[in-house]
Amino acid sequence: MIVKIAPRRGWFWALPVALLVVPFVLSACSLSPSGADLVAQECTPCHTLAPIEVAAKPEHEWRNTVYRMMAHGADLSRSEAERVIEYLAVTLGGKRSPRHAIHGYRLIFVSAVMVGAMMKLEFVWNFSDLANGLMAIPNLIALLLLSKVIKQETDRYFGSIK
């Protein structure tokens, strides 16, 4: 006798919902200090917030500045530094603030989690293979456009290990 077990799909919804909700809950509980808190705490032992607030720099320049401050002695881990850089670039990014880009990206990311959880597994793998392959195109374009920054960063890195 063949016993057919009905697929229990119901709880599969829990996964995307949990993936959506958990990060928000975690950030709301602020288990780790936000970029704003880090700037207020870690960027003020040596100078006031004044030189920070008058600056309007795009993200890669904030990255240079924050890593230079760490070389001066600012007490930030790598992940804290990234949070500070994102915060500074969004709030003090000048005209080219990436705020909209970051929000748009998060929306697409979260939607992809929802849609991906509802698709057939084979389609998901094929799509991810395709997307991985296509990623080379924007990467190559970005490498060309950012060649100046790449040179700066490479020089900075090799300068720092001398």
Which residues of the chain form contacts with ligand HEC (CB under 6 A)? 39, 42-43, 45-47, 51-52, 55, 65-66, 68-69, 72-74, 76, 84
Closest approach of ligand HEC to the CB of residue 54, in Å: 8
Please classify residue 102 by burial: count the beta carbons closer than 10 Å to its beta carbon, then call 0-12 exposed, 13-18 middle and 19+ buried: middle
Nearer to ligand HEC among residue 39 and residue 90 (C-beta) = 39
Say which residue the tokens 């880090």 belong to: 38
Task: For CA atoms 56, 62, 68, 69, give the dihedral sign.
Answer: positive
Task: For tokens 């599969």, name the residue.
Answer: 12
Nearest Cα residue to 127 out of 117, 116, 139, 137: 116
Residue nearer to ligand HEC on the CB measure, 106 or 156: 156
Give whichever of 77 and 128 is closer to ligand HEC, judged by the CB atom: 77
Q: Min. distance of Cβ 66 from ligand HEC in angstroms?
A: 5
Shortest distance, position 51 Cβ to ligand HEC, whole Å: 4
